[in-house]
Structure 1
Amino acid sequence: MGRIWRCAGLRWAADGPVLVWDGGRRSALTWGKRVAFGVEEGGVRTCVGARGHVCPLGAEVSARSTGARCEECARLDRAHSVAADTLADDPRPYRVYLAWFGPGMAKVGITAVERGSARLLEQGAVCFSWLGSGPLMAARRTEELLRAALGVPDRVPYADKRAARAALPASEADRAAELAELHARAVALSGWPESLDRAPFRPVDHVAAFGLAGAPAAVGEVGSLVAGGVVSGELVAAAGPDLHLATGTKGVVVLDTRLLTGWGLVPAGAREFAVPVRALRLKERAEAQDGLF
């Protein structure tokens, strides 16, 4: 069958999205590029391990999981996570940010200063603004203060982000308006830690970086990969871990690249798109409830 490829995930570089493969090889993704691969015949999806270590059990994991880790490896990975408050002694400076994904859909979060805006690209933030910077625990306290005072969460489900992405305001000013109001309310609050320096409102818009301006709307999303299945399409946009692929027969379909990890992947050849696809939830309904390439 030839070489089996294993995806280590999607990363965002300065010039756009990049698929990373086990062993370090990288595949830059550009608009119009054909993204095509098959899933190993007879293969199963196995745990990707944690913190650079192989899963000692080689455990099989669900095809629908976006984490691709067994319970033990997931526990180990979370035991060394800033998000889980297990690295309180991290000496690096952190930034607090406001991210916006669509009307009525904003969140507050933190990221290490050294990472720049990579975290916002990885999350699929349509636009964002920094709120301040300082030591980790000061940033974490500020995040909690703002989350409670502004009534915004620290997490937004990816299904909701995809639904909102299909109907964004046309102008940057309109996309930044809700952030501007939240930022003004945030900096007016008392109780900020003294060690956290506040930042002025300077919105950064990612619509161009994501290729969303003028891109055809997505109509479906890949629910899971299956052994022997095929994904094939032209890349028309990308946001966070999602690739928007024009498939021809199924319209534009969103592939969450987190579903790739743990599978053995092979060249697709000329085979047609053949993995489970479900209708993309619309925003109104959401509110009501070069290796292979």
Structure 2
Amino acid sequence: MTQVWKCSGLRWAADGPALTWAGGRRSALPRGKRVAFAVPEGGVRTCAGARGHACPVAAVVPGRSTGARCEECARLDRAHSVAADTIADDPRPYRVYLAWFGPGMVKVGITALERGPARLLEQGAVCFSWLGTGPLMAARRTEELLRAALRVPDRVPYAEKRAARSALPGTEAERAAEVRELHARAAALTGWPESLRPEPCHVVDHVRAFGLAEAPAAFGEVVELVPGGAVRGELVAAAGPDLHLAVGGRGAVVLDTRLMTGWELLPPEPAPAGCAFPVREFRREPDGLF
């Protein structure tokens, strides 16, 4: 009998990205690894549940949803989310950061000190710097200070992050420039909470960790998994939740692993590299007017 795997998402650690599976299994994703799976005919995508608990009704969820949760489980998950600003009494220390995703795309955010840079890797931040460390509410006030005084957003649409990766500046100094400039402006602001300890600007670049410098250009992105579909390819880069898979011929296709959660997956039949899921091709800007 063929073993069925149910994906729980992509996780980043010090040794790189890994797919996690129901039951606690983990598949490391070193570059060059062959990634191949299929959705069985007649398969359905069910809710991923909330806070480590299964959805009580195993609700069916849309194939294009990156959250993979029904309305009730999404509400429960958000009710216990630091990112949603619904928790005020977390005693852990937090860090405020500036993250850069491409030219003109810098955001401010917070993450628990104990998580290190994992949150930045999970978001697909091309580079980042810490701003300060302190209690949760002090970190929140600092985040709001930057939004109000410097108009730095706390969110960047993921589609924009993905699109920016195809045209990144070639050197670390160029990629770090906007972060350094904003860090200096933030440090000069008055009104920082006294309990937040400022940190010097030290820009960490993730291009090498993601493998973006050596990866072939991606021609499109998988928009959803469908019953009877499959993908077979070589992992050439990984950034945030995205896997860049060389699928033969045209280059690489981007697979957002959040689209995998909720599906039961099988090993595919032996076949050449390729993608049999719906793919949206990236728009290419014309070289000139004519």
SS in 1 for 2:82: coil
Post-superposition offset of 1:133: 0.5
Cα shift readout 1:117-174 (whole Å, capped 9, x = no counterpart): 0000000000000000100000001001101222121111111011110000000000
Cα shift readout 1:176-224 (whole Å, capped 9, x = no counterpart): 0011100000000001100000000000000000001121111100000
Q: In the alignment, what sits opposite 2:282?
A: 280
In structure 2, distance between residues paired with 1:160 and 1:152: 16
SS in 2 for 1:121: helix
Q: In the alignment, what sits opposite 1:56?
A: 56
In structure 1, distance between residues paired with 2:269 and 2:151: 49
Post-superposition offset of 1:102: 0.4
Post-superposition offset of 1:32: 1.1
Post-superposition offset of 1:250: 4.5
Q: Which amino acid aligns with 2:54?
A: V
Q: In the alignment, what sits opposite 1:288?
A: none
Post-superposition offset of 1:280: 2.2
How many residue pairs match? The answer is 284
Q: TM-score, normalised by structure 2?
A: 0.96
Asked whether the equivalents of residues 159 and 281 of structure 1 are also in contact (C-alpha less than 8 Å), the reply is no
Q: Does 1:202 align with 2:194?
A: no
Asked whether the equivalents of residues 40 and 263 of structure 1 are also in contact (C-alpha less than 8 Å), the reply is no
In structure 1, distance between residues paired with 2:136 and 2:55: 30
Pairwise CA RMSD? 1.2
Asked whether the equivalents of residues 97 and 110 of structure 1 are also in contact (C-alpha less than 8 Å), the reply is yes
In structure 2, distance between residues paired with 1:281 and 1:149: 35
SS in 1 for 2:75: helix
Where does structure 2 lack aligned partners over 5 or more consecutive residues?
none
Asked whether the equivalents of residues 47 and 68 of structure 1 are also in contact (C-alpha less than 8 Å), the reply is yes
Q: Which amino acid aligns with 2:157?
A: P
Q: Does 1:68 align with 2:68?
A: yes
Q: In the alignment, what sits opposite 1:222?
A: 222
Which of 176-185 and 262-271 deviates more? 262-271
Q: TM-score, normalised by structure 1?
A: 0.95
Cα shift readout 1:83-119 (whole Å, capped 9, x = no counterpart): 1112100000000000000000010000000000000
Q: Which amino acid aligns with 2:280?
A: R
Q: Which amino acid aligns with 2:19?
A: L
Q: List, as ranges, runs of 4+ consecutive aligned residues in structure 1 with deviation greater than 6 Å.
A: none
Where does structure 1 lack aligned partners over 5 or more consecutive residues?
286-293
Q: In the alignment, what sits opposite 1:24?
A: 24
Q: In the alignment, what sits opposite 2:171?
A: 171
Q: In the alignment, what sits opposite 1:237?
A: 237
In structure 2, distance between residues paired with 1:135 and 1:220: 42
